[in-house]
Every structure is written in structure tokens, then in C-alpha cells.
Chains A and B, each alone.
Chain A
Amino acid sequence: MKSYTVTMSEIHPGTTQPAPLQNPSEQQAYDVNQGKQLFTQYNCSGCHFNGGGGIGPPLMDAQWIYGSNPENIYSTIVEGRPNGMPSFRAKIPDSQIWQLVAYVRSMSGQLRKDVAPARSDDMNAHRSEQRIKQETPKQSTPGEIH
């Protein structure tokens, strides 16, 4: 079941779900590239490695515990999550968080091919995000192994 809301609760007023947010950074190759650089510089790779996960869950697969929409990922970075994801509120400015959000979504091939980053100038752990297989996001629970 996909989640569209930002909060964790299922209770919401009214009958319609709020529309998912658009992340303008997802349209800009420059922003996604910045997100890719920040991913290493802010040590996201310390737990998520190059997308394959390790200490933290993989980011390049189809399994999303807290949702794969941009606002879900934004919330994950800002609030932190149980079991080890730190909160980066006030540590990373909003503009950079949206760049990271765009990059994280590119890791599972969600972005347009001409916006997603090409191969990194470093040792390559996987195909570049512009050639990576596009995964269809699925809901999973923490600790679920697929």
C-alpha cells in the first residue's frame, strides 16, 4: 500500500488524500548531481554504502519502509527514523535536503534518464543512475528481508 501522507498516522480529515509533492530538484541535472556529491560528503554512504545498504537499508532496491515519494524521503532525512537514521533538521539546509531526496530517488531509477547522474568519477560500485534498472517502489516493514 502506497503512503501519500507525511505523518505516520492513518487518521486524516476530509475524504481525499493530499497530492504528492513535486520536488523541483528532480528536474535539474545539476541538483541531482549535487545530491550525489552530498550523499558521500555527508556520509550517507557510511550506513547506506553505495545504495546496497549495510548498516542501513538499501536505497537502490524496490523496498521502501517509510514511502518513496519525495516528501517521505524528505521527512526521513529531517526527522530521522527508528533503528538508527539520525535527524538532520537544522544540520542540512532545506535546499540541500531536496537535492539529496532527488538523488536517493535516482538510485532506484525513478528519475528521467537525462536528469539522473552519470557514472561517478570514482570507483564505480554499480551502474550509473541514468542506466540503472527502474524499480517499482513497494511498501515494506522495518527488518523485512526480501
Chain B
Amino acid sequence: MEREREELERTWAHEKGWRRLLMETDHKLIAKRYIVTAFVFFLFGGIEAALMRIQLSRPDNHFLSPDKYNQIFTVHGTTMMFLFAVPIMTALGIYLVPLMIGARDVAYPRLNLYGYWVYLIGGLLLYTGFVLNTGPDAGWFAYVPLSGPGFSPGKRVDIWAQMITFTEISGLVGAIVIIGTVFKMRAPGMTLNRLPLFVWAQLVTSFMIIFAMPAVMLASSFLASDRLIDTHFFNPAEGGDAILYQHLFWFFGHPEVYIIFIPALGFISSIVAAFARTKIFGYTAMVLSLIATGFIGFGLWVHHMFATPIPQMGQSFFTAASMIITIPTGVQIFCWIATLWHGKLNIKTPLLFVFGFFAIFIIGGLTGVMLAAVPLDLQIHDTFFVVAHLHYVLIGGSVFPLFGAFYYWVPKWTGRMLSETLGRWSFALMFIGFNLVFFPMHQLGLSGMPRRVYTYLPESGWGTLNLIASIGAFVLAGGVLAFIVNFLWALRAGAIAGDNPWAADTLEWSVSSPPPPYNFHNVPVVQGRYALWESTPDAPVIRGLSTSKRETLVTSVLDAEPELRFEIPGPSIWPFMVALATGVTFIVGIFTPWAFLVGAILTGAALACWFFADPNYENRPAREHPERSRPVSPPAGLQPKEV
């Protein structure tokens, strides 16, 4: 067994140095990179928010010029929605889904790596533009005609439109990876009926990404082509339509917020189960609610367009749908309350963030119901009331669960516990700060303050509430800072976590912290929904997977019966090269349409190399890894178990 473990360690060992940076495909490494990168973008977005709050703290303030302010609010929204929220949710999935389902890696490790590089290039593109005073300034949604060729001269909006392409490619790649992994690589015994709710949430999100992202790629590509090659998609004078852009954008834009929200529902289910020490009540209802939310989420998009001249009868359909979607989310909340009611609560920081979610997200959901009513929306649309609503649902519904997830899973990722005291401080500061910033905004919206304004008149009377909000922003920032300090301190001096510090139920807690590169020495056989709580001491494991190749077990979709042993592709430089080629195509495409032709050839060539040129891991020259080319025979006397 010991020798097997050593061989596994060697076979799955990470590359070293620059090869590790560019070529290594271990899903945990890629996910950690995603998480760190997305968190850095979160901090940038937070700085932009702080700058806005300083500008708005007093009427007629001159801290930011209108041009700077417009760039900042555009980049804030774009960063938070495209560069932070979706990638970090996908990242937690990429890290935890293989571990939770008993797999050794994701289904498409190289594609996974490609997704990260494309995402990074897109983020760098946006911020390079921003730093050079060419940041987009037409809002994160970039409505035409304002973002069109006539009213947004220069390359600002082109940078935005092409950045969208990068983040959408990355999102689609992440979704494909997760779907493939969840459907085909579950440990035997983990039927779909036993899938952890976290994994269900990631699965539903991934399907939503696949259906929603193409709409925004169309919107941004049409916009880019209007601006670059004189097409007329959105030019009413030549037969185009400005509202077409809104439909295409919001058909993506509404599911986007559910793409950000549904993984957080998965985090909450995991945290509530572990900290209420009991099963989540109503598993079937919870799963159906996730699927229903994902499905209904595609039928809401016109509620962003209630002020346009779309007939009221049609708009009312979207009112009804926007109200109906409350029901599955409500089912989830009621089931969690029912779970907590009969649980034994271990009040630690992750659970505090879940309580914060309840307090904050429910307000956001209720103001959402108000916004769903067409006539009322006509008063509060495009005011600070909507700013309040969206932050209550996104921060309450996604960021608070995300921080709870950090406190819950950082011990697994790093092997160190975060400080509980600092955790409580960070929660308290974030909770109080958040409400100070955003609660007054409800009132500001009702008092008539529109969105996206760089200043306001003194006689409007909005100064006091704005000042309170600005002060709250710094309290909130303090809470985030406390988390960062906590994390950096814990890396060095946190208590050693051990395998399962929370005595939790999902499979990732059965391996070491941090997990070995191969995740599981022996793939477990799952005996219930709460794998570690419901497994017997003599639970069977899978034996017979090779230790000289990176091998994992592929199982059937519904019942996870073993089908074949699958050799996972190992490290390769080609995902990075294809990402570079993609980058060249779309970045140079900002300036000339010929980039698409040249870029397509480059990308095609790099793809060909990816598919054909790189030998499988096992066939590497023996001089690199001499031990690996020897076959492994099981130790004497140990028989593989029949599963």
C-alpha cells in the first residue's frame, strides 16, 4: 500500500517551475488560481466601489470627473459580474466537485487549464484599457445606441465587447468540464439520487451557462461588428433595432445572476448540513427547486425592460414569471429553516455567514418581488432602489455564502484553520457595513435618485443618506480586510486542520488537507447521500486503477456503475498556446477584422498540435521518470473487491 502511494505520488506529481505555471492540469491547482485571481478582481471592484462612494458622499463633489466616474462604475459592474462572480463560483466547483464525487480529476483537465488562461487574458485586457484611460464607459450592460459607433468613439467599448468574449469562452469551458465530470466520473454507488446538493447546484449552473452565454456573445459580437465593420444590427435608420440589443443582453443577463446565485445555494446546503449536524430536509424538493430556479430563470429577462415601449400584456407575463421564481427559492429557504430547527447548531463562522445570508438575501428577494410588478417598477427602475436590491441579492445571496464557503473549505485547501475570532469580527463588520451602505439606498431610490449619476444637487436632500452609505462602505471594506488578514495569518500560524475538522459528511473530508494530487488513493464506494455519515466501517473501495498512469474510473450517468478505466490527459503546453492564439485573435480584432482570419489560422494550428502532437503522459521518455514505465503488480495476498 505504501509503495502504491509512492507511485501514485510520482505519477500525479506536479511539474516544477515554469512548467507548473503553464502546463500543470491538476484541477485543484487550476481552481486555486481561479480563486486567487477572482478574489484580486473582487478587491479591484471593491476599490472602484469605494471611489464611487467617496464621490457620492456629498452633493456637487469634485473628487471624480464625470468621465472617470462613468469609467469606474462601468468597470466595477463588469469586474464584479464577469471577472469575479461567475469565475469564483465555477472555481469552487472545479476544486470541490471531483472531490465530492470521488473522482481523481475533472473530465477534461487540459480544457480546464485553457479556460483559466482565457479568463486571465480577458481580465488583463479590461484592466489594461482601464489603466490607460481607455476603459469602457457605457455601463456594464453597454446599451446601444450609447455604446454604438456614433456615441462611444474610440476603442473603449470595443475593449468591453471583446472582454466579454473571453469571459464567456471561459465560462462555457468551465460548464462543460463540470457537466462531463458530474455525469461520468462519480464514484460507484453515488447515484444521481445521492449527489450532494452542492454538486447539483454546480450541475444546474453549468447547464444555465451553456444556454445563457451564447446570447451575450451574440450581443457583444453584433456590437463589435457594428463598431468595426459597419454592420447595422442596432441602427434603426437602416433596419436595425436598439431593443434587439437589450433582448439579447438580458436573455443572458438575467440567467447570469442565477448563475451567480445557484452555486451559493449549494454552499449553503453544505454548510447547513455540516453545522446543523443533520441531513438537509427535503432533498428531492431541494433538487427540484434548483432545477426549477434554473429553468424559470430563463423566462424573466424582460423585467429589465419594463420601461421600454413593449406592450403591457407581454410585460405582465414576465411579472408573473418573476414572481413565480420566488417559490422554488422560498422552498429552499423553508427547508433550511426546517433543517436548522431540528439540528444541533455548531455556531462557527461559516454558519454565521449563512445567517447573514438569511437576513440579507430575503430582503433582496422581497424587493425583487416589488420590482417584478410592472407599474411599481416604472417608479423604481433605474434608481438606487435597484442598486439596493441587486446588492442585497448578490452580496447577501452569493458573497456571504461565498465567505462562509471560504471559512468552511480553506482548511481543506490549505491544511490550516482560519481564526474563529477574526472570522466573527469579519462577519460582524461585513454585515453591519453592508446594511449601512445599501439599506439607505432603498430610500434614496424612492426619493427619486436615479442610478449612474456622478453627482446630485444639494437641494435634493439626498446628502445625508449618501454619506451614511459611504461610511458603511468603509466598514464593509474593513470586514473584507479582516478576512484577508485572517487568511494570510492562518497560512503561517493557523491550527493544523487535519482531514475533517468539521466532522462533515461529504467525500472531500475523507482525504488529507490539502488533498494529495490524486485525490483518492482508493476510489470509495458511496453508500448514502451523506457519504461519510452513512458509510459503514467496512465500506468497499475500488482497487485496480493503475499507479503508473493517471487513471480514473468512468461510470454510468444515472447509477454510477463502473464502465471503464479512463486515462486522464496530463500536463501540456497547448492549452496555454491555444489561449494565446485566442487572445491574439480577439485583442487584435479590436483594431482590424483581419485578425479573425489570421487568428483563426493560428488557433486552428495550435488546436491541431493540442489534439495530435502531445503524447499521452505514459509515453514520456523513460529518462524523465524511470519508475513510471514499470508496471505495477498488486502486493501479494490482496484481492480486488467485487463492486
Contact = CB atoms under 8 A, between A and B. Distances in A.
Give yes or no for direct A-B contact (beta carbon below 8 Å): yes
Interface string A77-93: 00000000000000000
A134 to B, nearest CB: 15
Nearest to B240: A121
A118 B227 contact: yes
Interface in A106-126: 113-115, 117-124
A2 B498 CA distance: 82
Contact of A119 (B151, B226, B592): B226
A121 B153 contact: no
- In this complex, the member of B145, B150, B155, B226 whose beta carbon has the largest number of chain A beta carbons within 10 angstroms is B150
A111 to B, nearest CB: 12
A118 B237 contact: no
B159 to A, nearest CB: 12
A138 interface: no
Interface stretch (B228-236, B322-330, B473-481): B228-236
Contact of A123 (B148, B150, B155, B238): B238
B151 A121 contact: yes
A115 B153 CA distance: 8
Interface in B589-606: 591-592
Contacts of B592: 113
B483 to A, nearest CB: 41
Nearest to A123: B237
Contacts of B151: 121
A103 to B, nearest CB: 11
Contacts of A124: 230, 232, 235, 237-238
Nearest to B234: A121
A118 B238 contact: no
A121 B149 contact: yes
A25 to B, nearest CB: 12
A62 B513 CA distance: 73
B154 interface: yes
B230 A121 contact: no
A32 B149 contact: no
A128 interface: yes
B227 to A, nearest CB: 5
Interface string A120-144: 1111100110010000000000000
A29 interface: yes
Contacts of A122: 150, 235, 237
How big is the B interface, by class? 10 to 19
Contacts of B226: 118-119
Given A114-B154, A128-B230, A131-B229, A121 B148 contact: yes
A121 B154 contact: no
Interface in B220-277: 226-230, 232, 235, 237-238
Contacts of B145: 121
Interface residues of A, number: 19
Given A113-B591, A113-B592, A114-B155, A131 B230 contact: yes
- In this complex, the member of B151, B226, B230, B232 whose beta carbon has the largest number of chain A beta carbons within 10 angstroms is B230
B278 to A, nearest CB: 60
B230 A30 contact: no
Contacts of A72: none
Nearest to A118: B149
Interface in B149-173: 149-151, 153-155
Interface in B107-154: 145, 148-151, 153-154
Contacts of A33: 150, 153
Interface in A23-55: 28-30, 32-33
Contacts of B591: 113-114
Nearest to B144: A121
Contacts of A123: 237-238
Nearest to A121: B150
Given A32-B153, A113-B592, A118 B228 contact: yes
A30 B153 contact: yes
B230 A118 contact: yes
Contacts of A28: 154
Nearest to A127: B230
A118 B232 CA distance: 12
A18 B238 CA distance: 46
Interface in B570-599: 591-592
Contacts of B154: 28-30, 114-115
B229 to A, nearest CB: 7
Nearest to A32: B153
B549 to A, nearest CB: 51
A117 B153 contact: yes
Contacts of B148: 121
A53 to B, nearest CB: 22
A131 B229 CA distance: 8
Nearest to B231: A119
B357 to A, nearest CB: 44
A121 B237 contact: yes
B146 to A, nearest CB: 10
Contacts of B155: 29, 114
A119 B235 contact: yes
A70 B224 CA distance: 31
A122 to B, nearest CB: 5
Nearest to B592: A113
Nearest to B593: A131
Contacts of B232: 119, 124
A118 to B, nearest CB: 3
Contacts of A117: 149, 153
Interface string A95-112: 000000000000000000
* CB-based closest 3 A-B pairs: A118-B149, A121-B150, A29-B154
19 contacts: A29-B153, A29-B154, A29-B155, A30-B153, A33-B150, A115-B154, A118-B153, A118-B230, A119-B150, A119-B235, A121-B150, A121-B151, A121-B237, A122-B235, A122-B237, A123-B238, A124-B235, A128-B230, A131-B230
Given A123-B237, A128-B149, 20 more contacts: A29-B154, A30-B153, A32-B153, A113-B591, A114-B155, A117-B153, A118-B150, A118-B153, A118-B226, A118-B227, A119-B232, A120-B150, A121-B148, A121-B150, A121-B235, A122-B150, A122-B237, A124-B235, A131-B229, A131-B230
Interface of B: 145, 148-151, 153-155, 226-230, 232, 235, 237-238, 591-592
